[in-house]
Homo-oligomer: A and B are copies of this chain.
Amino acid sequence: MGASKTADYTLIQTDLARYCKALSHPARVAILQLLLERKTCICGDIVEDLPIAQSTVSQHLKELKQSGLIKGEIDGTSVCYCIDESEWIKATQLLRSFFDGFELNSNTCC
């Protein structure tokens, strides 16, 4: 079953995996794109934009919050969501240095 102790991997590996897991579903990518575009959204805005039910959107928002990439602030009956700037920068840098680790024309097999 799904053991895979966290201690078996480095912090960079688990951080990268965590950010990527947040982006591993097209609905969550779409939510983030909407937040990038509009800067802030309430949950209802996202529900209107996506082809999935409100409860499902809420669940995806919860996962995005847990990844750290977004945060939400209660404002009356609604919740205002936005990108978490410092986490976004951290993810950007982590991914950049990971993908930049590839040297062009260096793969000798295949």
Shortest CB distance A104–B (Å): 7
Q: Interface residues of A, CB < 8 Å — how many?
A: 57
Number of identical monomers bound together in the oligomeric complex: 2
Q: A9-B30, A91-B99, A92-B100 are in contact. List 13 more A-B contacts (CB 8 A).
A: A9-B27, A13-B26, A13-B29, A16-B29, A17-B25, A20-B21, A20-B22, A21-B21, A33-B98, A40-B108, A82-B107, A84-B110, A96-B96
- Which A residues are closer than 8 A to B by beta carbons? 4-6, 8-10, 13-14, 16-17, 20-30, 32-33, 36-37, 39-40, 50-52, 71-73, 75, 80-85, 88, 91-92, 95-96, 98-102, 104-110
